Structure 1
Amino acid sequence: MATMKDIARLAQVSTSTVSHVINNSRYVSDEIKEKVMAVVTQLNYTPSALARSLKIKETKTIGMLVTATDNPFFYEVISGVESYCNQHHYNLIISNTYGNEERLQQNVDTLVQKKIDGLLLMCSESTFPAGNPINLPLPMVIMDWWPTELNADKIFEDAEYGGYLATKTLIKHGHTQIGIITGNLTKSIAQNRLNGYKKALAEHHLPLNPNWIIESHFHFEGGIKGMAQLLSQPHRPTAVFACSDTIAFGAYHTAWQQGLSIPQDISIIGYDDIHLAQYMSPPLSTIHQPKTELGKLAVETLLERIKKPIENYRTLVLKPQLVERGSIAML
């Protein structure tokens, strides 16, 4: 493999001159430049990305640490992150912990060894054993949620407003008896969506039935079990706020198993607006999370901190929006 020394020897110039021509780091006359580039073409020389990264202490690589989940919301966010990394000419290394604390530390060590420029963190569930906080001399951005406090920028969605909007939508359709299936309530996002539900009920002077508040998990099985609990009540609600689309999908399945039709027998609204929501039968009304914007903002925030470190860490909040489809009956 050709080196700068080989080019310098054949072009009869110094190695530093070759470096300046290739990196465009200093003025070199057109005559010398043409001479050097002719040799570069002759030798089919390609600069070493590794050597360059060691020299400028930048690898143009971002790490992304995620926990295992069957929630398609996270895959859609990751896809957005990857797209914006490509637009900014950065490589992305995705590392999945599968909910294992030991694997978390191994993955962190591996990412550090690969000399990443910054790290994105996204945790799916509060059941993940967080252990000790991640203390790295790296720029970091938390997306959605992380179970421990870190020195990092944070990007959240306004979960309380989203929960309020979902519940208010059911109320606008005439529902006064509304159940909710939440994620694990040790997770702040789950708690905030529940708070939004309570706020909407209180605003419309509707009683809060504790039997209709079902704590579950943000996955399909959580929706199946949560809906079964709601439907086993002596007095059933007429509508259900499922705090994720995956919970809503599980709720659909349980309703179907029990011979109920949506929305004729029970109305359901989800949360996230994952791609599959529009293809449910009936199409799922849901709260749209700006997943593309989340990925874009996470990448741009991290790159900004990599290039221009800022003293104060920021918390950025995204606003969810309502998407109405066919899963809510008008009473």
Structure 2
Amino acid sequence: MKNESSTTTLYQVASAAGVSPATVSRFLNGTAKVSDDKRRAIERVIDELNYKPNLLAQSLKMGSTRTIGVLTQSLESGYFNRAMVGIEDAVKAAGYALLIMSGHWHADEEAERVELLIGRRVDGVAILTGNMSDQQILDFSRRVPIVAFGREVQGERTQGFCLDNYRGACDAMEYLIAQGHRRIAHISGPVDHRDARARLAGYHDTLAKHGITADPRLVGAGEFDESSGLQAVNALLQANLRFTAIFAANDLSAYGARLALYRRNIRVPEDVSLVGFDDLHSSMYTTPPLTTVRQPLYEVGTGIGRRMLAMLGHEQPAEQVPGLSLIVRESVRLV
């Protein structure tokens, strides 16, 4: 058999670990469970001998490229980047690497990128939200396993899951109302975005639950970015609408809202309270630190990775959908 590396062979690893070459191969390929004792022995020898498997040879033998395609929407977004770190951490121990492409929220571009990933013979595709239809995803899954975050699509080779955006929005609104706020503005997300619709519904339903009449003029259109948050709050202020708090549909919108208030010498939280949604890393460093709904994005990523590994035949523990939580900082005051 050809050497797996220039200095150490698979047979040498097996001999030093006191196991068969087939056991080492199963351990490296993840094709069958290896006992804890044997796993520890193999890992120790691999570390001691600095063994480097020939991944190309393994791929050719198994008909696998050991790559997972990831369709994100923006490579610049801290939201997506945190999830991608989680995916990478989940799959790298099994010898997989990521091939990442972005779709920029355009369904046609997303479909084109998935075609490119499949053309590069990825073993599976992880989709981070987007605007492709469920049927498109199911059609692609006939060719490659797919895990899709942000939708409920399910199929023979498709797994989808969502976070409870509606519950998260309700929690944010409950907190604002508990602090005495009644005139609460909302910066929405894109009208065609599932998560944005769920957060808007949570806004309206929580107001109704407390007998607060919703003022449609207090809902500003946003696009999940800083500039639309800035523009939405500028429009509210130019219309001379009265409000004591803003619930932004995501943290980026909240950053833009904060700038709009600052330029009008409106203080946060002394004059207007502000709540976001996502808990991006930078939100703890805004002035003041932003109260927000935390999406466990890293855990979402590891969940995607583990689901993908399970679909590819690697034994994995059952995955639970992580929950959202309200992170209270300093951007809300009692009125």
| Same fold by TM-score greater than 0.5 | yes
In structure 1, the partner of 2:282 is 276
In structure 1, the partner of 2:247 is 241
Cα pair 2:91 2:309 within 8 Å, conserved: no
Aligned pairs for 1:51-200 within 5 A: 51-68=57-74, 70-99=76-105, 103-123=109-129, 133-134=136-137, 135-136=139-140, 137-145=143-151, 151=155, 152-200=158-206
Give the Å deviation of 1:108.
2.5
**Greater mean alpha carbon deviation, residues 62-71 or residues 161-170:** 62-71
Cα pair 1:158 1:317 within 8 Å, conserved: no
In structure 2, the partner of 1:326 is 330
Matched, 1:262 2:268: yes
Give the Å deviation of 1:116.
1.4
The sequence identity of aligned pairs, in percent, is 27
Give the Å deviation of 1:224.
0.7
Aligned pairs for 1:181-220 within 5 A: 181-220=187-226
Give the Å deviation of 1:322.
0.6
Cα pair 1:139 1:305 within 8 Å, conserved: yes
Distance 1:233 1:316, change over 3 A: farther
Q: Tell me the SS of whatever aligns to 2:162.
A: strand
Give the Å deviation of 1:105.
4.5
Once residues 53 and 97 of structure 2 are traced to their aligned partners in structure 1, the CA distance between those partners, rounded to angstroms, is: 17
Q: CA RMSD in A?
A: 3.1
Give the Å deviation of 1:99.
4.5
Once residues 119 and 163 of structure 2 are traced to their aligned partners in structure 1, the CA distance between those partners, rounded to angstroms, is: 32
Query: How many pairs does the alignment contain?
Result: 292
Per-residue deviation, residues 275-295 of structure 1 (Å, max 9, x unmatched): 000100011000011112101
Q: Which runs of 5+ in 1 are unaligned?
A: 6-16, 28-44
Once residues 75 and 236 of structure 2 are traced to their aligned partners in structure 1, the CA distance between those partners, rounded to angstroms, is: 24
Once residues 176 and 282 of structure 2 are traced to their aligned partners in structure 1, the CA distance between those partners, rounded to angstroms, is: 21
Q: Which one has a bigger Cα radius of gyration?
A: 1
Give the Å deviation of 1:80.
1.9
Once residues 122 and 266 of structure 2 are traced to their aligned partners in structure 1, the CA distance between those partners, rounded to angstroms, is: 51
Cα pair 2:303 2:319 within 8 Å, conserved: no
Cα pair 1:223 1:248 within 8 Å, conserved: yes
Cα pair 2:72 2:101 within 8 Å, conserved: yes
